[in-house]
Amino acid sequence: MNRTQIAEVVFDLPVAHPFSYSVPPHLTVVPGQRVQAPLGGAVRPGVVVGLRALDTAGVKPLAAALEPGPIMSRSQLDFARWISAESCSSLGSTSAALLPPVLPGEPMPSACEWSGNRAETPELFVGADRLARVRREIEAHAGGVLLLTADIATAADWAASLSALGPVARLDSGIADRDRRRAWNALAAGAARLAVGTRSALLAPIPPPAMLVLIDEHEAAHKPPGAPRIHSRDVVLRRAALEGARLLLPSATPSVEIWWLADGGRARLHPVDPGSWPAVSVADTRGMLRADPLTPALGRAAYDALARGRRVCLLVSRLSSALACDDCGSVPRCPECGIALAFSRVEKTLACRFCARRDAAPDTCGACGGRRLSAFGWGAERVEHALRRRFPRARIARYDPDAMRGARLAKQRQEATGADIVIGTRGALRLFEPASLGLAGFVTPDQFLRVADFRASERAFALMWAAAERVRPDGQVVIQSQHHDHYILRAVIDQDRAEFYKHELRFRAESGYPPFRRLCRVTARGRSASAARALADTCVGRLRDARLTVYPAIAERRGLAWRILVKGRADLPAHVSRALEDGGPADRRGRGMIEIEMDPVD
DNA sequence: AGCACGCCGACT
DNA sequence: GTCGGCGTGCTC
């Protein structure tokens, strides 16, 4: 029997284990190198993750090396392993998502190892001058810089702006494969010092001493669909520690997780330049908003702004799914979980998304006995109609960049750019520079406060803060709300972030939400309702056996899918993977499929 | 994820 | 009698 070298190879598949191949005598491969290997009748690209000596029984040979050397150093491969474990994604899918395209004929610069002997404290920049300060830090930094954004458009802006400081390697998918790959090589070879990208750049080789920058750390877009299911914030925190890199986090409204780190001295909050702040007021809507989306206060503010030739942005939300009392403003909440109960108009029920609680919707308000309970909806269309009647001579446009793409979006954008009044969702704020608007108005923000999601308050706070930053110092922000004393509103009125985080952290601690506990969502799908149910029951049983906090499964898609929420500590991914075995993002066991989503953001 | 091998309905 | 539906299971 021949003793040869065996290469362990992972592929872009939802399969947890590597596949073994013999290394033909004419080939030399090392861990971290990309290869071609036969699998399931076809030759597919994969990554060598290990080598060992063994007999060759029943093993096929590698077909070819895709590149002359490893694309990942030992440090990068270990780090990819960590990301894979932490996100319950396969190592193959993780590597495929975080490595540049293969280009035959390109040279392979050697990828360097990370030293990480002195861990730096992550740094928060939250003030009005945060981007200018981060830019100065980048300018002053001697080594390489990796700057990550949540979307391609922002990456393009940064690449353009940083090019004044030297060659910029763009690593996001907004540029051609060839250029992206060359940018990666330029970095590894030390020919470029500045790198800009989105999450696909998380593994990029940066010349030491490295500096990492994550723009708008709080953005949910830092955890886009697709493997690996992990927020870029968690990745850069780890990478900075391993690599001994400085990590800069500019964000007007950091995530509660990051603020908590700063509270505990594990992140450093740089001195804050508060910047200018408009007058923020709450317009009481109790008993209003039946026939008109504008309270007298907001209507007057819009009139004044238009009369002074200033622009107006009205923020609306997508449809509400919670119930509220029109008389006292109270919202039915889950007694167990503390979150607003989701209202289903069709089924006439109130349901909690976290525990499986589901009750018939009441006829009267539990707090004041009022009989007017409604899930109200002032969507963009209805608001626009009402405003056209009220301001017949104003140029009014709707803008909802998250709901459309392509030519329709471009057209809408153009109309919105020239409009006096823009009605839009959160993406509409991107149209406006800081301190440029005459008025920002929130039509029915109570819907944000009521969304059946514990992160809703964080998002509402971020949105209101972002709106206020875009209003001129002599302009106004008007928030129409029944909750005039809500801590989010107080924090925005007083321009006091700490006020928000103090309350939010107390709520999270009391209810056992992140950052104090970790969450995982397991989805069990089946062909039939009974198969799905059985699979879900199996999962719940195994997770309970692992002594994790497991909430009862909630049916979706008429019983074809079941959502299971699991709570645990920092080591939750390992426990969930072990409990469900081979748990990939879409592990098929028998007749069904399991999906594991660590730290869900929605 | 692909892709092959499996056992039950309408066609030349 | 075969062609083909997709349900199930494997890929080194």
Spacing of A39 CA from B1 C1' in Å: 12
Per-residue b/e over A176-197, b at no fewer than 16 CB within 10 Å? eeeebbbbbbbbbeeebbbbbb
Which nt is closest to the CA of A528, judged by C1'?
C7
Which nt is closest to the CA of A40, judged by C1'?
C11
**CA quadruple A43, A45, A48, A52: dihedral, nearest 10:** 0
> A358 has which bridge partners?
A351
The rounded mean pLDDT for chain A is 89
Report the C-alpha gap between A530 and A509 in whole angstroms: 37
Amino acid (1-letter code) at residue A545: D
Question: Is residue A343's beta carbon less than 7 angstroms from any atom in nucleic acid strand C?
Answer: no
Spacing of A38 CA from B3 C1' in Å: 13
Which two structure tokens, joined as six digits, stand for A469? 């930053």
pLDDT score, position A369: 86
Question: Is residue A411's beta carbon less than 7 angstroms from any atom in nucleic acid strand C?
Answer: no
Q: Is the pLDDT of residue A24 over 80?
A: yes
pLDDT score, position A371: 85
pLDDT score, position A583: 43
Per-residue b/e over A202-240, b at no fewer than 16 CB within 10 Å? bbbbbbbbbbbbbbbbbbebbbeeebbbbbbbbbbbbbb
Which nt is closest to the CA of A585, judged by C1'?
B1
Q: Is the pLDDT of residue A281 over 60?
A: yes
Q: How large is the C-alpha radius of gyration of chain A?
A: 26
Which nt is closest to the CA of A8, judged by C1'?
C12
- Share of chain A residues as helix, strand and coil, in percent rounded to the nearest 5: 35, 25, 45
Spacing of A100 CA from B6 C1' in Å: 40
- Which residues from 523-542 of A have any strand C atom under 7 Å from their CB? 527
- Which residues from 563-592 of A have any strand C atom under 7 Å from their CB? 588, 590-591
Which nt is closest to the CA of A584, judged by C1'?
B1
Spacing of A23 CA from B8 C1' in Å: 45
Q: Is the pLDDT of residue A118 over 80?
A: no
Which nt is closest to the CA of A526, judged by C1'?
C7
SS (H, E, C) A349-406: EEECCCCCCEEECCCCCCCCCCCCEECCCCCHHHHHHHHHHHCCCCCEEEECCCCCCH
- Which residue did the predictor score with more confidence, A116 or A263? A263
Which nt is closest to the CA of A14, judged by C1'?
B1
Pairing label, strands A64-70, A123-125:
unpaired
Instruction: Tell me the C-alpha to C-alpha distance, in Å, between residue A236 and each of A30, A113, A481.
Output: 26, 16, 37
Footprint of strand B on the protein (CB under 7 A): A 13-15, 40-42, 586, 588
Q: Return the percentage of chain A with pLDDT > 70, whole number.
A: 92
Nucleotides on chain B within 7 angstroms of protein Cβ: 1-4
> A396 has which bridge partners?
A421
Q: Is the pLDDT of residue A63 over 90?
A: yes
Spacing of A254 CA from B11 C1' in Å: 65
pLDDT score, position A582: 52
Q: Provide DSSP, A291-312.
A: S-SS-HHHHHHHHHHHHTT--E
Q: How many CB atoms lie within 10 A of CB A591?
A: 13
Chain centroid to CA A231? 6
Nucleotides on chain C within 7 angstroms of protein Cβ: 7-12
Question: Is residue A241's beta carbon less than 7 angstroms from any atom in nucleic acid strand C?
Answer: no
Which of A2, A3, A7 lies closest to A52 in space, CA to CA? Answer: A7
Which nt is closest to the CA of A37, judged by C1'?
C12
Question: Is residue A62's beta carbon less than 7 angstroms from any atom in nucleic acid strand C?
Answer: no
pLDDT score, position A1: 46
Residue with tokens 């953001």: A601
> Is A494 in contact with A279 (CB distance < 8 Å)?
no
Question: Is residue A40's beta carbon less than 7 angstroms from any atom in nucleic acid strand C?
Answer: yes
Confidence of residue A15 (pLDDT cuts 50, 70, 90): confident
Confidence of residue A584 (pLDDT cuts 50, 70, 90): very low
pLDDT score, position A320: 42
Which of A450, A453, A386, A389 lies closest to A423 in space, CA to CA? Answer: A386
Report the C-alpha gap between A82 and A94 in whole angstroms: 10
Question: Is residue A371's beta carbon less than 7 angstroms from any atom in nucleic acid strand C?
Answer: no
Which two structure tokens, joined as six digits, stand for A534? 């059985």
Instruction: Tell me the C-alpha to C-alpha distance, in Å, between residue A260 and each of A48, A257, A264, A265.
Output: 39, 5, 6, 9
Q: Is the pLDDT of residue A169 over 90?
A: yes
Question: Is residue A57's beta carbon less than 7 angstroms from any atom in nucleic acid strand C?
Answer: no
Q: Is the pLDDT of residue A391 over 60?
A: yes
Spacing of A590 CA from C7 C1' in Å: 11
Q: What mean pLDDT is predicted for residues A91-108?
A: 93
* pTM for this prediction: 0.89
Most confident of A92-96, A371-375, A592-596: A92-96
Q: What mean pLDDT is predicted for residues A465-481?
A: 97
Spacing of A73 CA from C11 C1' in Å: 28
Domains of chain A in sequence order: 3-98 (3.40.1440.60), 123-269 (3.40.50.300), 279-510 (3.40.50.300), 518-598 (3.30.70.600)
Confidence of residue A383 (pLDDT cuts 50, 70, 90): confident
Q: Is the pLDDT of residue A291 over 90?
A: no
Strand ranges across the sheet with A349-351:
A342-344, A349-351, A358-360
Which nt is closest to the CA of A527, judged by C1'?
C7
> Is A88 in contact with A583 (CB distance < 8 Å)?
yes
Residue with tokens 């709520």: A507
Least confident of A8-12, A358-362, A520-524: A358-362
Report the C-alpha gap between A539 and A522 in whole angstroms: 8
Spacing of A490 CA from B1 C1' in Å: 50
Q: Is the pLDDT of residue A559 over 80?
A: no
Q: What are phi and psi of A424, to 5 degrees?
A: -160, 175
pLDDT score, position A451: 67
Q: Is the pLDDT of residue A416 over 90?
A: yes
Amino acid (1-letter code) at residue A128: A
Question: Is residue A555's beta carbon less than 7 angstroms from any atom in nucleic acid strand C?
Answer: no
Q: Is the pLDDT of residue A356 over 70?
A: no
Which two structure tokens, joined as six digits, stand for A116? 């990480």
pLDDT score, position A577: 87
Q: Is the pLDDT of residue A387 over 50?
A: yes
Pairing label, strands A194-197, A358-360:
unpaired
3-state secondary structure of A80: helix
Let me know if A83 is exposed, middle or buried by CB neighbors in 10 A (0-12, 13-18, 19+). Answer: buried
Residues 6+ apart with CB under 8 A from A551: A354, A355, A356, A564, A565, A566, A567
Least confident of A105-119, A206-220, A428-442: A105-119
Which nt is closest to the CA of A586, judged by C1'?
B1
> Is A218 in contact with A254 (CB distance < 8 Å)?
yes
- DSSP annotation of A112 reads P
Which nt is closest to the CA of A15, judged by C1'?
B1
Q: Is the pLDDT of residue A318 over 70?
A: no
Which nt is closest to the CA of A592, judged by C1'?
C8
- Which residues from 63-122 of A have any strand C atom under 7 Å from their CB? none
Q: Which residue is nearest to nucleotide B2 (CA to C1')?
A: A40
Q: What are phi and psi of A488, to 5 degrees?
A: -65, -45
Residues 6+ apart with CB under 8 A from A88: A229, A520, A573, A576, A577, A583, A584, A585, A596, A598
Q: Which residue is nearest to nucleotide C9 (CA to C1')?
A: A590
Let me know if A335 is exposed, middle or buried by CB neighbors in 10 A (0-12, 13-18, 19+). Answer: exposed
Which nt is closest to the CA of A39, judged by C1'?
C11
pLDDT score, position A352: 73
Confidence of residue A585 (pLDDT cuts 50, 70, 90): very low
**Half-sphere exposure for A404 (CA within 13 Å, toward CB):** 14
Spacing of A596 CA from B2 C1' in Å: 22
Going through A229-332 in order, the beta strands assigned E by DSSP cover: 246-250, 268-269, 279-284, 312-315, 324-325
Question: Is residue A13's beta carbon less than 7 angstroms from any atom in nucleic acid strand C?
Answer: yes
Which two structure tokens, joined as six digits, stand for A151? 């979307």
pLDDT tens-digit series, residues A359-374? 888 888 888 888 887 7
Q: Is the pLDDT of residue A345 over 70?
A: no
